[in-house]
Amino acid sequence: MITVCAFAWVPDFARGQVRDVRVRWALEEAGLPYKTRLLEQGAQDTPEHRAIQPFGQVPVFEEDGLTLFESGAIVLHIGERSEILLPAETGARARATQWLIAALNSIEPHMMTVAGLDAFFADEEWAKLRRPSAEAFLRNRISALSNALGDKPYLDGERFTAGDLMMASVLRILPEADYITGDPRLGPYVARCTARPAFKRALDAQLADFREAA
């Protein structure tokens, strides 16, 4: 049985955003059953957890002696068992991987910069000075992404892949950003991806774990 290690508690604003949702979503798309192992506060810094996740984060994927960390690596690993996530055709498979990495490298760091400024440093003078340029850079990346998506339903055309799973997950980091939700391409794109039953099951499962651990 696959085990996904996740947090038992996070602040309210982070619920539904913790990266184990991405792994749960991939598992739901692939039709692979799993169970969760929840970390109490502080447990991420224990030697036992650091031995399998050196940075003290979640998620961690465990199955038959294999342990993986980093949501992107885990989703790609799951995708090896699901043509929904990684198509069999070589080119389509490579493009799905390309978009997954683009989500993590070209979009997410800039999303997290803006989100972090707002969540943790909004009252700091240095953050007020930094935020306009951070948002301007992010808007530029979002515009480029919108242009790349164009009129296609998904990043590689008609078919949802692991690239869409990761990109939609990243775009959800700023749910109130009008330059995402109001974009005539990206707003419907995120809604389309997150309307998938597998996403809804994944999100519900994470929120249920938080409620049950409270």
Domains 2-84+198-213 and 90-196 share a fold: no
Q: Which CA distances in Å does 13 have to 9, 45, 204?
A: 11, 22, 16
pLDDT score of 75: 98
CATH value of 2-84+198-213 in 2.40.37.10, 1.10.600.10, 3.30.1330.120, 3.40.30.10 = 3.40.30.10
Q: Is the pLDDT of residue 183 over 90?
A: yes
Percent of the chain with pLDDT over 90: 99
Check if the beta carbon of residue 114 is closer than 8 Å to that of residue 131. Answer: yes
Q: Which amino acid is at 112?
A: M
Check if the beta carbon of residue 13 is closer than 8 Å to that of residue 69. Answer: no
CATH value of 90-196 in 1.20.1050.10, 3.10.20.30, 1.20.120.530, 3.40.50.720 = 1.20.1050.10
Check if the beta carbon of residue 82 is closer than 8 Å to that of residue 30. Answer: yes
Q: Is the pLDDT of residue 169 over 90?
A: yes
Q: Is the pLDDT of residue 139 over 90?
A: yes
For strands 66-69 and 2-7, give the pairing.
unpaired
Going by pLDDT thresholds of 50, 70 and 90, the confidence category of residue 11 is: very high
Averaged pLDDT for residues 135-164: 98
- What are the respective helix, strand and coil percentages of the chain, to the nearest 5? 60, 10, 30
Other Cβ atoms closer than 10 A to 196: 18
Averaged pLDDT for residues 86-109: 98
pLDDT score of 15: 96
pLDDT score of 207: 98
Check if the beta carbon of residue 78 is closer than 8 Å to that of residue 72. Answer: no
For the chain, the structural domain boundaries read 2-84+198-213, 90-196
Going by pLDDT thresholds of 50, 70 and 90, the confidence category of residue 46 is: very high
Q: What is the mean pLDDT of the chain?
A: 97
CA angle 159, 194, 3 (to 5 degrees): 95
Q: Which amino acid is at 187?
A: G
pLDDT score of 25: 98
pLDDT score of 214: 83
Averaged pLDDT for residues 2-11: 97
Distance in angstroms (rounded) separating the CA atoms of residues 204 and 59: 16
For the chain, state the CA radius of gyration. Answer: 17
How many CA atoms lie less than 13 Å away from 171 in the CB half-sphere? Answer: 31
